[in-house]
Amino acid sequence: MTDGEDTPDAGESTAASGADGADDGADATGGTAIRRDRFSGGPARGFMSSLAADERIFAADLQVDRAHTVMLAEQDIVDDDDAAAILGALDDVAAAGHGELPGAEDVHEAIETAVIQRVGPEGGRMHTARSRNDEVATCIRYRLRADLFEALETVVGAREQLLDAAEAHTETVMPGFTHLQYAQPVTVAHWVLSYEGPLARDTERLLSAFDTTNQSPLGAAAFAGTPFDVDRERTAELLGFDGTVANSMDATSSRDFLVETTSALTTLATTLSGMAEDLVVYSGRDYIEISDDYASTSSIMPQKKNPDTLEIVRATAGEAQGALQRLLTTLKGLPRSYNIDLQEATPPAWTAVDSVPPALEVVTGALTTAEWHEDVLAAEAAAGFSTATGVADRLAMAGVPFRTAHEVVATVAEDLDPGQDAPAIDDLEAAAEEILGEPLTAYVDRETLEATLDPVESVAMRDSAGGPAPTAVAAQIDDARERLAVDEDAVAERTDAVATALADLESEVAAYE
Ligand code: ARG
């Protein structure tokens, strides 16, 4: 039932053969390995094994074993010689790799068996004062943390690229749409910034998911604590966690950190799907030419250049949403405390961390390498009388109630010929005369009106905070850069803290060798 069993090499490596190879450890350990003689056979063993899928947490588990062993020795729960032998064996197991693990239900059992094979029965002291339940929860958090760092780096990097793209296009007018119909002219920069904003919020969501994830469940044992005098803060510190998940039942049973992470990534993927769709539309309308690196051709239609990579980005949202749904459905209604349904809750989170950041890289790459056809964009910016709101605004600024101004402009808009971008000033004047009972010039002179029909002027007028006018966009870019620098620091601070802790763990371990 695990994802890993579908992998092509599932039957080839010893590790992936699951419980079929479970006898491997029995001889060497003199029966001290987990009751594999009794619970290792039968048709359901492979069905419930997570060993192949656990490759993802193999390195994490070794680290968790190291930190736990160091703590056990510091607390005099195991003596230093046994700790040294266990730590030496763990290095050996690490060097051999996941593929060389003896068969077992999961990676935790397999590593323990491999340690006992090397050390003898004393190796079994490694599992004192813990359970696979707190162990796996710690491993997942440890590994997910690295994946979250990668996701954060990707989002922060994409924001930087988007801000550069915006800066290059503060004056490039383009049509803005509502309902995919010409609405009002904007600039390419303004459109780009409309996606940098959500990415900035995605950064906050991912940082929050990181902080929730980076808490240690270790020492909770099966769910009910342990009689041993464990130092949970110490293992948390050695593994670079910010603290512990205090309640031992919460520590082993809760997977809300997976939900938070998968949901943050799904939110991001959903934004990306819209961004990709915009680019697909723009390429179809010849506003942009996608770089060859992000396009494909047709096997039959020789003239075709398709924005295929962007369509995959669009579909990634479906993959992420499916993963989130799978995760939530797996967790729904689970009783306290540990249930092995939880084993099936982890793969969806891996799906999200594996699929969403690459999609972000692709859509950002496609956007920043695309050629923007400024002539087409400028011509289209005025299409469909998209300066109509600007004209109504002008009248309202001159004292006409906005609803009346709207009526004047709507009257001329109704009579436009198909394909006609803007009304003649004479027609506007006639409509004003009819509705206002006064000549238009009583409010706005002809020259100002004509300027208002120009999309460049229409953009420049809308200089309210957050608007598309180049001055307003420049301010948005400045703010966004400041926010980005703060977020870069937040990521670096966390990366450094984890790296420092792991270096300390390494020297603690080395002291036993
Ligand atoms: N492999 C399991 C998981 O991923 C951990 C094992 C706990 N199993 C158990 N029966 N208590 O969640």
pLDDT tens digits for 136-152? 999 999 999 999 999 99
Active-site residue, selected from the candidate residues 13, 298, 458, 464: 298
Which one of 17, 68, 108, 179 is the catalytic residue?
179
- Specify burial of residue 496 (Cβ count, 10 A radius: 0-12, 13-18, 19+): exposed
Strands 243-244 and 215-216: parallel
Residue recorded with tokens 């004209």 = 391
Phi, psi of 306 (to 5 degrees): -105, 140
Question: Which is higher by pLDDT, 20 or 393?
Answer: 393
Residue 112 beta carbon below 6 angstroms from any ligand 1 atom: no
Question: Ligand 1 centre from 34 Cα, in Å?
Answer: 13
Helix (H, G, I), strand (E, B) or coil at 289: strand
Which residues on neighbouring strands pair with residue 184, listed in sequence order? Answer: 176
Residue 365, both tokens: 């790459």
Residues 488-503: what's their mean pLDDT? 98
Confidence class for position 45, pLDDT limits 50, 70, 90? confident
Q: With residue 186 as reference, give the H or E element that holds it.
A: strand 181-187
Q: Which two tokens stand for residue 180?
A: 């995919």
The answer to pTM > 0.95 is no
**Residue 57 in contact with ligand 1 by CB distance below 6 A:** no
Integer CA distances (angstroms), 300 to 274, 289, 294, 296, 297, in order: 29, 21, 19, 12, 9
Hey, how many other C-beta atoms are within 10 angstroms of the C-beta on 485? 11
Would the CA dihedral through 387, 166, 191, 380 be positive or negative?
Answer: positive
DSSP state letter for 453: T
> In sequence order, which residues have a C-beta less than 8 Å from that of residue 302 and are 6 or more positions away?
none
Q: What is the pLDDT of residues 187-241, one digit of tens each?
A: 999 999 999 999 999 999 999 999 999 999 999 999 999 999 999 999 999 999 9
Write the pLDDT tens digit of every residue in 444-489: 999 999 999 999 999 999 999 999 999 999 999 999 999 999 999 9
Given a cut of 70, whether residue 117 has pLDDT beyond it is yes
Q: What percent of the chain has pLDDT over 70?
A: 93
Residue 446 token pair = 């002809």
3-state secondary structure of 243: strand
Mean pLDDT of all residues in 492-501? 98
Whose alpha carbon is nearest atom 11 of ligand 1?
133
The DSSP code for 464 is: S
CB of 340 shorter than 6 A to ligand 1: yes
Q: Tell how far the Cα of 373 is from the centroid of ligand 1, in angstroms.
A: 56
Pocket flag, ligand 1, residue 34 (CB < 6 Å):
no
Q: Which two tokens stand for residue 189?
A: 């920069």
